[in-house]
């Protein structure tokens, strides 16, 4: 039994038991993957995977136990490597952050600049992705930490911390009728086509639920992944925009008006997430501390290693 075989078990589950995808993820051949699985099953004396013909269909009951143990072993191998990293180069290295466009564009620039001023030997890598992709990257170890509004908070694989709170706002061209209404409300907004975020991005679920709870039809004419695109289409009068308020820039968006949506839409919370039971690089914990208003590095490290920690 070796670590490579255990990695194959993990990757098989992660890739829906598709050996072609497993081979691609591990940069090897499908025949090599099949051989390693066969050798491991022969050594253990039972089948790890259930099959239909030559195709894997899932984990057998003993296979589920193997998966759990393999996962813990590989997590501890990762943690041992991170301990080495902490003590060999405490303030130098690569910090990989998975986030959405909105966070990368509007929430993180000043924080990253501030951190770089005190840690010039840390290189940031920003992966802008969808919430499910962000979760996958954090889970697999491709990202050191993640910041997003959707998908992270209720995921049992992660320890999450409130990063900041915000509200959606409504953007319209200057001189739009909504800017003149004394009784500004959801019903008035609903009279116009809506331009907003794609499902699963930047609090879109709360926009949908707000309309549904008020029994008002949401007429979306265009969905986009980021606020810059939404603003561009609102500017040409395609519809009324609903965006994260912090994405409006008073100096740059002079052709648009932001209407306060805090009385219409519920509060959103963007969270910073870390993989549970994973030792953090020293500078990763320090950056998380900066984001979390100087929460102690020790508290952050302990939180990721404790199932009992509560936000």
pLDDT tens digits for range 22-40: 898 888 898 899 999 999 9
Domain that holds residue 221: 168-266
Contact predicate 168/268, CB 8 Å = yes
Kindly report the average pLDDT of the chain as a whole number: 89
pLDDT at 94 over 60: yes
> Is position 53 within any domain?
yes
Q: Report residue 60: phi and psi, to 5°.
A: -75, 170
Same domain? 139 vs 192: no
Contact predicate 18/30, CB 8 Å = no
pTM: 0.70
Residues 274, 276, 226, 248: what is their CA dihedral angle, to the nearest 10 degrees?
-40
Name the domain boundary from 51, 84, 117: 84
Same domain? 46 vs 192: no
**CA-to-CA distance for 298 and 311, rounded, in angstroms?**
15
> Is position 309 within any domain?
no
pLDDT at 87 over 70: no
Same domain? 300 vs 223: no
**CA-to-CA distance for 8 and 14, rounded, in angstroms?**
10
**Long-range Cβ contacts of 122-125 (<8 Å, 24+ apart):** 122/91, 122/92, 122/93, 122/94, 122/95, 122/283, 122/287, 123/93, 123/94, 123/95, 124/94, 124/95, 124/97, 125/94, 125/95, 125/96, 125/97
Kindly report, residue by residue over 267-292, the tens digit of the pLDDT: 999 999 999 888 788 899 999 999 99
State percent of the chain over pLDDT 70: 95
Same domain? 156 vs 204: no
Q: How far is it between the farthest Cα atoms of the chain?
A: 76
Average pLDDT over residues 153-157: 86
Same domain? 49 vs 184: no
Same domain? 60 vs 200: no
């Amino acid at each position: 039994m070796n670590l490579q075989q255990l990695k194959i078990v993990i990757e098989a589950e992660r890739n829906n038991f598709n050996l072609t995808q497993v081979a691609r993820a591990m940069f090897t051949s499908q025949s090599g993957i099949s051989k390693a699985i066969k050798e491991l099953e022969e050594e253990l004396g039972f089948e790890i995977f259930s099959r239909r013909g030559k195709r894997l269909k899932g984990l057998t009951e003993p296979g589920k136990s193997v998966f759990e143990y393999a996962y813990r072993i590989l997590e501890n191998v990762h943690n041992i490597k991170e301990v080495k990293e902490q003590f060999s180069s405490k303030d130098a290295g690569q910090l990989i952050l998975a986030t959405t466009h909105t966070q990368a564009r509007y929430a993180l620039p000043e924080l990253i600049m501030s951190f770089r001023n005190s840690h010039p030997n840390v290189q940031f890598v920003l992966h802008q992705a969808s919430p499910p992709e962000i979760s996958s990257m954090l889970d697999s170890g491709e990202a050191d930490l993640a910041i997003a509004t959707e998908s992270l908070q209720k995921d049992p694989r992660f320890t999450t911390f409130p990063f900041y709170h915000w509200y959606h706002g409504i953007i319209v061209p200057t001189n739009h009728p909504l800017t003149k209404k004394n009784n500004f409300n959801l019903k008035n907004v609903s009279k116009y086509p809506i331009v907003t975020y794609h499902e699963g991005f930047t609090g879109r679920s709360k926009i949908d639920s707000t309309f549904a709870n008020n029994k008002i039809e949401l007429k979306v004419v265009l969905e986009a992944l980021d606020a810059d695109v939404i603003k561009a289409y609102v500017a040409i009068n395609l519809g009324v925009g609903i965006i994260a308020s912090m994405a409006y820039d008073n100096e740059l968006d002079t052709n648009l008006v932001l209407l306060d949506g805090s009385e219409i839409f519920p509060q959103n919370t963007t969270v910073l997430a870390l993989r549970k039971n994973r030792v953090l690089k020293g500078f990763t914990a320090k950056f998380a501390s900066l984001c979390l208003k100087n929460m102690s590095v020790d508290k952050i490290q302990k939180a990721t290693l404790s199932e009992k920690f509560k936000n």
